[in-house]
Structure 1
């Protein structure tokens, strides 16, 4: 716990970094170091949901009311 008391204040450094990126018109979700992980997860969830919806709608159009069975 003592390490947190004497920790360096990094807020001004991060603030300068974000302000420079903002002035360069970089989108907020592309600025951070973890943005690739966040956007990849988001895209997988969005496209996965879209694909599942298309599959379910296609089965519904063909007359099947469930995901896998022939009922």
Structure 2
């Protein structure tokens, strides 16, 4: 007989709430760096690109 394993919500909740690491919730999972770090690189890269060309536009320089 095949027994379906129950969803371990309680154990996952315990992992995130009792984790001794003093990090943000979105960085506590071991694989979170695979998602968060590329996001921040793209975010700050886009902000830097926008700020650079905004400054050029204010000064009247063409791209």
TM range (shorter): 0.5 to 0.7
CA distance in 1, matches of 2:61, 2:24: 43
CA deviation profile, 1:14-36 (whole Å, cap 9, x unmatched): 12211212x76432012123221
Q: Is 1:30 the counterpart of 2:27 in the alignment?
A: yes
CA distance in 2, matches of 1:41, 1:58: 26
Unaligned runs of 5+ in 2: none
Structure 1-normalised TM-score? 0.59
CA distance in 2, matches of 1:13, 1:45: 33
Work out the number of aligned pairs and report it.
Answer: 62
**Aligned 8 A contact 2:27 2:33 in 1:** yes
CA deviation profile, 1:37-64 (whole Å, cap 9, x unmatched): 2221221122112211122123213313
Bigger CA radius of gyration: 1
Structure 2-normalised TM-score? 0.64
Report the RMSD for the aligned CA atoms in angstroms: 2.6
Specify which of 11, 30, 34 is matched with residue 13 of structure 1: 11
